[in-house]
Amino acid sequence: MANGRAAMQRQTDLATVPAPGCPAFAFNMCCALKPDARGLPADMQAQDVAVAARRTIWRAGETIDGVPIICQGWAATVITLSDGRRQILAFLLPGELVCASLVYNAVSPSSLEAVTDVHYRQFKRQAIRAAMERDPKLTLTLAKLWADENARGDRLILDLGQRSADERIASLIVNLADRLARRGPMPDGTMEFPLRLHHIADATGLTAVHAGRVLTEFRRAGLIELSDRALTLLKPDELRRIVGLL
Amino acid sequence: MANGRAAMQRQTDLATVPAPGCPAFAFNMCCALKPDARGLPADMQAQDVAVAARRTIWRAGETIDGVPIICQGWAATVITLSDGRRQILAFLLPGELVCASLVYNAVSPSSLEAVTDVHYRQFKRQAIRAAMERDPKLTLTLAKLWADENARGDRLILDLGQRSADERIASLIVNLADRLARRGPMPDGTMEFPLRLHHIADATGLTAVHAGRVLTEFRRAGLIELSDRALTLLKPDELRRIVGLL
DNA sequence: CGTGAGCTTGACTTGTTTCAACCAACGTGG
DNA sequence: CCACGTTGGTTGAAACAAGTCAAGCTCACG
C-alpha cells in the first residue's frame, strides 16, 4: 500500500481536531459528543481510523466496538453470498452514520468496504447511548437517521425488484447526486464519482459489462458526462424522468 | 364485503381482552402498555381495527395516528410506481409490528394492504413513547424489532439483486416458514400459506406467470405441496440448499 | 347463471448474462 | 529505464432466463 504512511499521518492530524471536514447529517451527534468530553481523554470517546481504497474494513457478523461515522471518502456496505455473488446495500458518503443498528447491537449485519481512501471516526457505543439519555432529542435524531436508512433500503428494493437496467442506473446516479447536492453546491452539475463499474454492478444487481453498456448509452444520449472520476448531469430532468420521479 | 359484520363483532369482542391471540415478538409492548392503563380509558391507549382481505389499509405518505401491530391475518407493505408496477417490501404476520419508524414519525413510507382478513391493534404513539421513557428496556426491544426489520430488508435486497427466480421463491418460502415456526409448531411441516401468485410475484420482482411456473416446478420436483392455502415443506433441506443456506 | 379473480400452459420476444478478446493506465520490481 | 502483472473499461457474438401475450380452465360469489 503506497499511502499507508500518508494515511497514518492524516489519522494523527485529525485526532487533534474535534470534527474534521465531517459535514452535515450525523453532525448533530459529533457536536453533542465532542464538546462535553468531561474528564475523559478524547480517544476514549472516539477513535479515528484511516483505510485505503478497496480495503475491507470489517466483515458481516463481526463485532464492532463502536459506532462509525464516515468523515472522508466513500464506503459501501456489502453482503456476500458463499458462491461469491456480492450485493452492495448502500454507499456511504462523508458525514453519514455507517449503520444505525450499531448503536444498539455490536454485531454488524453487513461488511463494510472502502470505495475510495476513507477516514472514519468510531464513537464509543456507551458514549452515544449516554448522550441520548441525557438529551432525548438525540434519540429523535437517531430515529430520523435510522428511518432515512430504511427509506434508502426500500428504494433499493423497489429498484431491484421492479426497474430495468437503465432505470436502476439512472436511479443510482440521481440518488447520489441528490445526496451530494444536499451537503454542498454542485458547480455545473458536476460531482465527484469514484465508483467503478463493478461497484455500480454490485449495487444494481447487474453485471459490470452491462452496467458499462448502459453508461455509454447514457453518454451517447447526452444525458451525462463521465470521466476521471467526475460525473456531470447534462440533462438531470431527463434522468429523473427515466426513474419515474418528475 | 361478506364478513363485515363478523369482523365488527370480533372487533368489539377483542376490545375487552388485553392481548388477544396476538403472539410473540411485539408482545413485550402489548404487555407493557395494557396492564398500566392508569386512569385512561382502554380505547385511548389502543384501537382495534378489522380489515377485509385485499383491502388497502393506508397508502404511502398518509399520516397514521398510531403504531399498528398485526393481531390476526397476513398483511403486506407495498410501494407502487406511477405506472402501476408494485413491490412488496415485507409480509407481516400476526404479532408483528407494522413499521418501527411509525413510533417516531407518523408519515408512513409505504402502503399497507391486507392479504387475508386482518385484525390489527393500533397503539397511541404517545403511549408507546411514554412507556419507553418509563422503561428503557422497551427502547432496546424496539431497537431489536427495528433491526429485525432492517435485516429482512437487507435479505430482500440480496434476493432481488443477486438471486435467480428459483432462489428468490425458495428464499421467500423458507423465510416465511422460519418465521411461522418461531411462533408455533408446524405439524408435518405444513403451514398456512394465503399468498396468491401475484403476491409472490410482487414480492420477488417476477411476474405472476413465472412465479407460477417455478412453483409447479417445485411441486414436480417433490420439494413442496401447495393447495388450499396450505403449504407443506416436503424437502426443507433441499429448499435451503437452493437458497444457499445450509 | 353470469362475472371476476385466480391458476396453468404454450409459443414467442426481449433484456441481460456469459464468454472472449483486446486495450489503456498504473505501480512494482528488476 | 523497461518489462510486467493488476485493475478497469469497451465491444461483439451467442446463450439463456424471464417477460409478454393469449387462451382456456376452475371456483367462489352475488
pLDDT tens, position by position, A186-218? 999 999 999 999 999 999 999 999 999 999 999
Partners of residue A156 in chain B, C-beta under 8 Å: 157
Contacting residues of B for A162, CB less than 8 Å apart: 81, 85-87, 205
Query: Which pLDDT belongs to residue A43?
Result: 53
Mean pLDDT in residue range A42-71: 90
A169 pLDDT above the threshold of 70: yes
Query: How many angstroms away from the CA of B14 is the closest CA of chain A?
Result: 32
Partners of A89 on chain B (C-beta within 8 Å) are 154, 157
The residue of chain A with its CA nearest to that of B156 is A157
Nearest to A156 by CA among A168, A143, A170: A168
Cβ-Cβ contacts under 8 Å, B168 against chain A: none
Nearest-angstrom CA–CA distance, A74 and A68: 13
Q: Report residue B20's pLDDT band, with 50, 70 and 90 as the boundaries.
A: very low
- Mean pLDDT computed over every residue of chain B: 86
Query: What does pLDDT average to over chain A?
Result: 86
Categorize the per-residue pLDDT at B42 as very low, low, confident or very high, splitting at 50, 70 and 90: low
B84: left (phi over 0), alpha (psi -120 to 50) or beta: left
Q: What is the pLDDT of residue B33?
A: 54
* Look-up of cell digits 432515512: A148
Q: How many residues does chain B have?
A: 246
Taking residues A91-108, what's their average pLDDT?
A: 96
Å: B122 CA to C6 C1': 32
For residue B153, the chain A residues in CB contact (below 8 A) are 150, 153-154, 157
Interface touch A79/B151, C-beta < 8 Å = no
Q: List pLDDT tens digits, range B183-196.
A: 889 999 999 999 99
| Mutation site, B108, B111, B154, B200, interface A, largest A CB count within 10 A | B154
Q: Is the model's pLDDT at B60 over the cut of 70?
A: yes
Residue A8 has pLDDT above 80, yes or no: no
Distances (CA, A) of B4 to A12, B1, B53, B54: 68, 6, 11, 13
Confidence of residue B173 (pLDDT cuts 50, 70, 90): very high
**Residue A23 pLDDT greater than 50, yes or no:** no
Percent of chain A at pLDDT > 90 equals 74
* Chain B residues with CB within 8 Å of chain A CB: 79, 81-83, 85-87, 89, 101, 103-105, 109-110, 133, 136, 139-140, 143-144, 146-147, 149-151, 153-154, 156-158, 160-162, 204-205, 244
Closest residue on chain B to A200 (Cα): B161
Quote the pLDDT of residue B154: 98
> What was the pLDDT predicted at B41?
53
B220: which nucleotide lies closest, measuring CA to C1'? C8
Residues in A closer than 8 angstroms to B150, CB to CB, are: 101, 109, 149-150, 153
Q: Per the CB < 8 Å rule, is A143 touching B110?
A: no
Has residue A11 got a pLDDT over 70? no
Q: Which of A154, A155, A156 to mutate to test the interface with B (most CBs of B within 10 A)?
A: A154
Q: Is pLDDT of A228 > 80?
A: yes
Residue of A nearest to B202 (CA): A161
- Quick check: A154 and B89 CB within 8 A? yes
pLDDT value for B126: 92
Contact A162 B85 (CB under 8 A): yes
Backbone angles phi, psi at A64, to 5 degrees: -105, 120
pTM, 2 dp: 0.90
Nearest CA in chain B to A86: B162
**Selected residue with higher pLDDT from A79 and B46:** A79
Residue of B nearest to A206 (CA): B161
For residue B226, what pLDDT band results from cuts at 50, 70 and 90?
very high
* pLDDT value at residue A22: 45
β-strands A67-72, A56-58: how paired? Answer: unpaired
pLDDT at A45: 73
Q: What is the pLDDT of residue A21?
A: 38
With CA atoms as reference, report the closest residue to B49 among B15, B19, B89, B22.
B15
pLDDT band of residue A10 (cuts 50, 70, 90) is very low
Q: How far is CA B18 from CA B31, B46, B96, in A?
A: 8, 10, 16
- Residues B200-223: pLDDT tens digits? 999 999 999 999 999 999 999 999
A–B: how many Cβ contacts below 8 A?
96
- Contact check, Cβ <8 Å, A110/B205: no
Q: Give φ, ψ of B53 to 5 degrees.
A: -55, 145
CA angle A133, A135, A139 (to 5 degrees): 70
A50 half-sphere exposure, CB direction, 13 A CA radius: 16
Q: A180 phi and psi, to 5 degrees?
A: -70, -40
The nucleotide whose C1' lies nearest the CA of B206 is: D18
Give the pLDDT band of residue A86 (cuts 50, 70, 90). very high
The number of C-alpha atoms within 13 Å of A122 and in the hemisphere containing its C-beta is 14
Distance B209 CA to D20 C1' (A): 10
Which positions of strand D lie within 7 Å of protein CB atoms? 7-12, 17-22, 29-30
Q: What is the pLDDT of residue A2?
A: 36
pLDDT, position B134:
87
Of the candidates B81, B146, B158, the beta carbon closest to that of A146 is on: B146
Higher pLDDT among residues A169 and B183, named by residue: A169
